[in-house]
Amino acid sequence: MAPSIRLSPAARSLFDEPLAIAVRGLGPRQRVTLRTSLRDETGELFQASARYQAGEDGQLDLARCPALPGGSFSGLEPMGPLWALQPQRPFWRLVKRDVQSPFLLQLEVLEGHGERPGRLLAQAQHERAFLRDGVRRVPVREGRIRATLFLPPGEDTFPGIIDIQGLGGGLSEPRASLLANHGFATLALAYYQFEDLPQKPKELHLEYFEEAVNYMLQHPQVKGPGVGLLGFSKGGEVCLAMAAFLKNITAVASLNGPVAATFVPFSYKDKFIPIVTLHEYKAKAIDSKVLDYSDVMDDPFQAPGNQSRIPLEKAEAQLLFVVGQDDHVVKSELVTKLCKLLQAQGKENFQILSYPGTGHCIDPPFFPLYPIGSHPIFHKRAILGGEPRAYSKAQVNAWSQVQAFFKKYL
């Protein structure tokens, strides 16, 4: 019997779903290398490889068989071949731009464990998709709003979430599309550098985001009376500012979002929140090419930085703070300080999920770690933080906790 790769689901799975991988038809205790690869939409290659030994029966099941030292990961890691994918081009991030097409995952089983693995024994392909059958993708151009709405299958009403990305501009759809697969009507909202939105906004007017809230609440398939907000980095900060000033916001999940205005100030009616000062000279060089910016921000709890702190004591929404303890862009202890302040004012509408070994980027499950990249404000190569194995566990846990939080409060 020739070796073969068995996958479950067989041909296609959602990107945030586990994939069961097994190999049949090997020799007893045969040593093999499992190599996975995928290309992003620009053609850049991501690869991982792991060393295994088949059982006495010639079978290899990643759910029961630990990877041996010497590959991209070791130990019992059934999803290691996905979360350990690394770009062949240094400092490149895996990004999905067109959620209507899947990523194509290639799997190969190669003989032996050498630096140059031996002959090819088996291969398979598998699609990692972003949209479940029946999920609808609706471009939204209503008033000033530039967005994409993802609706779960069916004619029911669904809890509504507005998903807001960090700095970088444009319209990012992967997280919103994946959330819709789980039963949420999710609006991926652009706020600059997209179509006719400002290229370089001087300030962010919360009235624009209020329009998006009203759009969601008037939609016949969005279950009121309020909406949820999910934001990463600057997007998390936007969500927190919305919770402090706008009505009809029930639950907010912030993924490593700053608790003060950064980079672009906020305005709402006659109120203005200036940006906190960042001192670039305080960046530390890790080596000749990489900087650590973790200590450049003024303290938003002391003057003069406290002018920039978002007044979250005014927020009536439930707040979920998802923080990476190894975040080198936004200090995780600022969220702890904020929650102590809220507690001192008798508030109980917050919870913190804090993950060791997790850096600034918190993506849905099985996106590879992006530990060193371009700093969102200074645009120089910076340490973002994180360690692959710990991060892969944090992704899975945070993703299920965020969904449970929205199910509870929406």
Instruction: Quote the CA–CA distance of 104 and 338 in Å, as a whole number.
Output: 43
Q: Residue-wise pLDDT tens for the chain (410 aa)?
A: 899 999 999 999 999 999 999 999 999 999 999 999 999 999 999 999 999 999 999 999 999 999 999 999 999 999 999 999 999 999 999 999 999 999 999 999 999 998 887 999 999 999 999 999 999 999 999 999 999 999 999 999 999 999 999 999 999 999 999 999 999 999 999 999 999 999 999 999 999 999 999 999 999 999 999 999 999 999 999 999 999 999 999 999 999 999 999 999 999 999 999 999 999 999 999 888 899 999 999 999 999 999 999 999 999 999 999 999 999 999 999 999 999 999 999 999 999 999 999 999 999 999 999 999 999 889 899 999 999 999 999 999 999 999 999 999 99
Instruction: Quote the CA–CA distance of 408 and 357 in Å, as a whole number.
Output: 28
CB 159 within 8 A of CB 187: no
Chain-centroid distance, C-alpha 37: 21
Q: In a 3-state reduction of DSSP, which class is residue 340?
A: helix
Task: Please report the pLDDT score of residue 394 as a whole number.
Answer: 98
The CB-side HSE value for 269 (13 A sphere, CA atoms) comes to 4
- List the one residue out of 34, 36, 50, 47 whose CA is nearest residue 92: 47
Look at the chain and count its residues. 410
Task: Please report the pLDDT score of residue 330 as a whole number.
Answer: 94
Instruction: Quote the CA–CA distance of 217 and 228 in Å, as a whole number.
Output: 11
CB 275 within 8 A of CB 264: yes
Phi first, then psi: give them for residue 228, nearest 5 degrees.
-100, 155
Distances (CA, A) of 202 to 171, 262, 272: 19, 12, 12
Amino acid at 142: E
Residue with tokens 């792991």: 50
Q: In a 3-state reduction of DSSP, which class is residue 202?
A: coil
Give the domains, in start order, of the chain with CATH numbers.
4-129 (2.60.40.2240), 136-409 (3.40.50.1820)
Q: Which residues are catalytic?
A: 233, 327, 360
- List the one residue out of 245, 239, 252, 231 whose CA is nearest residue 311: 245
Instruction: Quote the CA–CA distance of 3 and 292 in Å, as a whole number.
Output: 47
Q: What HEC string does 230-290 produce?
A: EEECHHHHHHHHHHHHCCCEEEEEEECCCCECCCCCEEECCEEECCCCECHHHCEECCCCC
Inter-axis angle of helices 206-218 and 234-245, to 10 degrees? Answer: 80
* Rg, C-alpha atoms of the chain: 22
Query: Virtual CA dihedral for 45, 150, 185, 239, nearest 10 degrees?
Result: 60
Residue with tokens 């936004």: 330
Could you count the other beta carbons within 10 Å of the beta carbon of residue 410? 21
Task: Please report the pLDDT score of residue 115 as a whole number.
Answer: 83
What tokens were used for 12?
């296609």
- The conformation of residue 309, written as its DSSP 8-state character, comes to B
What tokens were used for 18?
């586990």
Q: With 0.85 as the threshold, say if the pTM is over it.
A: yes
Could you count the other beta carbons within 10 Å of the beta carbon of residue 345? 8
